[in-house]
A and B are shown apart, each in its own frame.
Chain A
Amino acid sequence: MTNFAQLFFDATSLGGLYAMAALGIALIFGVMNLVNFAHGEYIAFCVFALIVPSTDAVAVMFLGHAPALILIPVILALGGLVAVASEYAVFRHLRRADPVAMMIASFALGFVIRNALLAAYGGRPKAISLWPGLNMPVNIAGASVPLLQLIVIVTTLLVVTGLALLLKRTRIGLEMRAAAENFTMARLLGVRANRVITGAFALSGALAAAVALIMVTQTGVADVKMGGQIMLVAFIATVLGGLGSLPGAVAAGFLVGIVSVVLQAWLPLEARPFRDAFLYTLVIVCLLLRPQGLFVPASAKPRV
């Protein structure tokens, strides 16, 4: 029998990671109906920004040399910058285009970023050691928990609270929430589309950077493909939470992480390799029962 506390920390830290990634996707979907499949590549980009471009197997730290106090804001800003730049370069020209066209453009953008990384860094995954001390286990409530897991949980809470405060208390936050619900109406009330969209991309990119830092510390690997897997999970979480709903994305991100860890622990040993099959079966069941998403409040439906 697995220790319950251990399970709790595993589940919440993984869920927190998924929640942050899902939030990054939901933010952009909210303001421009775009599922940005390049989000995973933003994550990979931020990871590779830590190391010197080379095709060698051993990673040499570049930005990764900097002390955490400088490194973290720089990487977050870099993530925001990449996202905003991609909006300027690609999505701004597709504002009036079909959502499907935008989605395909986001795939294309993802390929461009990924191949640029491949060209600069080579295709082999690299060992990269950022803050190795954080993987030291500490003992809490009888569970042996890597310090990083605690940091992830705290970070997620901080990020989610910070974002909630930003959305709730600031002008740009109010405009983003209004735009997420009804973009045209917000514009009719003088809300500047460019400002809101740029803000959403910047936040989304910064979230991708946060996910990147956590992933790289956790896994110790820089891999061009590392964004793809988490992007998929995060996208599923946003759909599950109700596309465009920010609280829904956070809740569903946590839920997917928790269920995935719980399945890993409780499934019979011979069924464990098929954990993801069970997970996605549950996702399908959820969507069959509530196609609009699990966490969409009834009040979100407009009255006539």
Chain B
Amino acid sequence: MSKLGVFDISVRYGKVPAVNDLTLHVEEGERVFVSGPNGAGKSSLLKAISGAVATSHGRIEMDGDLLTGRAPEAIARLGLSMVPEGREIFCSLTVEENLRVGTGLRRDADAVDVDIAEIYASFPILGERRSAAAGALSGGQQQMLAIGRALMTNPKLIMVDEPSLGLAPKIVDQVYDTLCALQEERGLTLLIVEQSSLRAARVGGRMVLMRGGRIVSEGNAADMADRDALAAAYFGQSGKQTETAT
């Protein structure tokens, strides 16, 4: 049984389809990149898995538990955490409060302080600014905070939506180094939306390529980066591509 199973799901916003009959499996401990052009439905896929948007069709399972139809807070309790696009940190809360928001679902309240200390060890800048308003952090620091915050729910699977958005390349390197180190350390499963297939290839892992709400191809990220499929997904040059990108 795979860690995460997405079976034939569709997501619609009104009449506009965002994800069409998509099926995807993620194995335990795996790192999967979701790539593709704007409007391919990558974020919608993540939102559907996390319960933030409803699916119109299909089902989603994690460790055999049905996620479809559950509230986001119930899904979080099953061990899924999300670093959303644009970070969405709580700007009016302090850094430490941001980290504590996601600890309400934990049964091991005693371990929370230890975990926070660990986050500060991984991201010293967050420790230094623990009492500062999170809105005053730089973009890169906010990204670190969003990752730290997602970790505080003690998840098994973390989904990260566009961690490189709006960040300098050097910071993006740092973000990925951290994510990979954390994955190693904690045996996490990672599902990452990443526009840049080159970046995905450098970090390494499996890559699925989306277009028009579907997966058009998948494979090893390093192999995929320079394959025709990529050009096809972005520019629609392949013969079988008839639908237009949404």
Contact = CB atoms under 8 A, between A and B. Distances in A.
A303 B142 contact: yes
In this complex, the member of B92, B136, B139, B149 whose beta carbon has the largest number of chain A beta carbons within 10 angstroms is B92
B86 interface: yes
Interface stretch (A65-73, A173-181, A217-225): A173-181
Nearest to A96: B54
A286 to B, nearest CB: 21
A178 B91 contact: no
Given A181-B93, A303-B135, 16 more contacts: A175-B104, A177-B97, A178-B101, A185-B84, A187-B76, A188-B51, A189-B81, A189-B153, A190-B73, A190-B76, A190-B153, A191-B102, A297-B92, A303-B139, A304-B86, A304-B165
Interface string A274-304: 0000000000000000000000010111111
Interface size range on B against A:
35 or more
A259 B81 CA distance: 48
Nearest to A186: B101
A186 B104 CA distance: 11
B92 A177 contact: yes
A184 B52 contact: yes
Contacts, number: 93
A93 interface: no
A174 B100 contact: yes
Given A174-B97, A192-B73, A300 B149 contact: no
Interface string B60-94: 00000000000111001100011010111111110
Interface residues of A, number: 24
Interface string A160-188: 00000000000100110110011011111
A302 B153 contact: no
B86 A181 contact: no
Contacts of B100: 174
B50 interface: yes
B168 to A, nearest CB: 14
A181 B91 contact: yes
Contacts of A304: 86, 139, 165-166
Interface string B97-133: 1001110110000000000000000000000000001
A194 B89 CA distance: 21
Interface string B19-42: 000000000000000000000000
A85 interface: no
B52 A188 contact: yes
